[in-house]
Amino acid sequence: MRTSGFSFCCCFAPFFYNVAGGFLQSGSSVEVFAVLSHNASLPCRRATHRATSSRVLHVEWSRVDTHNHHRDELTVHVVRDGKELQKEKAAQYVGRTVVMENGSLTLVGVTWQDNGTYRCNLWRGRVKEEVLVSLIVGRPTGNRTLICRVEIPETILANENKIYIIDEFRPLNPGLSWCIPWVLTAFGLVGCGFLTFVVDLLKLKNLRSTLQSWYQASLSIRNRGEQEQVLPLVGNNSYTDYGDINRVDTTGASKDTIRANNLLNPGGDLSGVKASHMMAERDLDEMLKYKSIIKEVGEILHIHPALIAGIISRQSEAGTRLRKNGFGGSDENCFGLMQINRYYHAVKGEPCSKDHVDQGVTFLIQLIKTMVRTKPDWSPEQRLKGALACYIAGEDKVIPLERYEDLDSVTPFHDFANDVVARAQWFTGKDF
């Protein structure tokens, strides 16, 4: 069942949740307080660390406390050799971020949704530094008052509350001894896991009854819609959040792809779809080595594993066309099973790892969402196919196309999307 996540802004109550499902040690984080609609500066070093003159080679900023079911980490800003890589940048941060020479991030015009924990990974030479920054946004209403907001995303439940700051107030030292049991009980049952808070109970006691009532309301909403929210994770029709891969039209591989794979019949009558199926079957034995990883990522991100297998088959022939260093045999800049270009993305993980597959699928999901925004009249299946074209050709080439039928006109061999779809449909019958 898909459940709504929770995001909280509570002044003096920072929480840190990592993407692996555990809690980040609050002592490893820097706290930054910002005013709604103003700019926020997030440092890429702790206050106790001395500044260094070593040249910053590479900076990655990401949001690590998001709880939507499609992704647990958002790319905020990535700089490599002085240039920003924008392909994976989350939409809500486009045009709103600037990274300084020391790696610090300026976030322009902060909103309630910007509350959360950010990770900075910074490389100086061969030395890597990692810092967590908790951004807490409040709206000032006077010299001693902040208004903070608590929200339950994907519902209409939200509330603002004033907190009056008194002279003798000092934030508590972080520690699990200050967890709030009733918050753990209420929200652990409805949300996506237990959240640990470090708070002054006296400052939040007036929120308790409100939050408990929200829990009851949210539970009611969940129960009313439970049947619609259930997404089975087995069977060929299970992964339809972004369109049904088995309903996507396809002409399969082009003559150029068929010729490049030495599949031409003497009579030249081999159809594109049949050729795609033959190439998928050729890769099956190798693909089975990664089946558990593919299915796990597919279930987590609600993308059909067969579609992931189709991309891997087309891109690297299930890894058989990779060099020993994990880069492509025909393109030394493309990495791993899914052939992610290192000049557009900060590649993650080993070439055949879950992290790598997760990165490729997450990028595909972002492209699907781009198609939703730019092609609102297209069906989910058409957008899915459009995202596949974007995956290889880039949004700048695909989005200007006016006709759905022209998607593959800008892809290699003019068939990438059609070929991947046909291979994916074949893999659906092989327990992917």
How do residues 224-273 score in pLDDT, each as one tens digit? 444 333 333 333 446 888 999 999 999 999 999 999 998 876 666 789 99
246 vs 186, more confident? 246
- Highest mean pLDDT among 31-35, 272-276, 328-332 belongs to 272-276
Element (H, E) at 116: strand 116-124
| Confidence grade of residue 86 (pLDDT, cut at 50, 70, 90) | confident
Query: What pTM did the predictor assign?
Result: 0.52
Cα gap 267→341, rounded to integer Å: 38
The pLDDT assigned to 125 comes to: 72
The pLDDT assigned to 266 comes to: 61
Cα gap 270→293, rounded to integer Å: 33
398 vs 17, more confident? 398
| Confidence grade of residue 174 (pLDDT, cut at 50, 70, 90) | very low
115 vs 145, more confident? 115
Averaged pLDDT of the chain: 75
316 vs 51, more confident? 316
- Residue 15 pLDDT greater than 50, yes or no: no
| Confidence grade of residue 107 (pLDDT, cut at 50, 70, 90) | very high
Q: Which domains are seen in the chain, by residue range?
A: 7-226 (2.60.40.10), 245-430 (1.10.530.10)
Cα gap 185→206, rounded to integer Å: 18
**What are the helix and strand counts (H, E) for the chain?**
12, 14
- Residue 390 pLDDT greater than 80, yes or no: yes
Given a contact cutoff of 8 angstroms between Cβ atoms, the answer to whether 282 and 423 are in contact is: no
The pLDDT assigned to 51 comes to: 52
Mention every residue, 6+ apart, whose C-beta is less than 8 A from residue 413. Answer: 253, 254, 256, 257, 260, 419
Lowest mean pLDDT among 128-137, 200-209, 212-221: 200-209
Tokens of 239: 């992964």
Q: What is the pLDDT of residues 47-70, one digit of tens each?
A: 545 555 566 778 999 998 754 444
CA angle 15, 17, 18 (to 5 degrees): 150
Laid out side by side, the sheet with 105-107 consists of 40-42, 105-107, 97-99
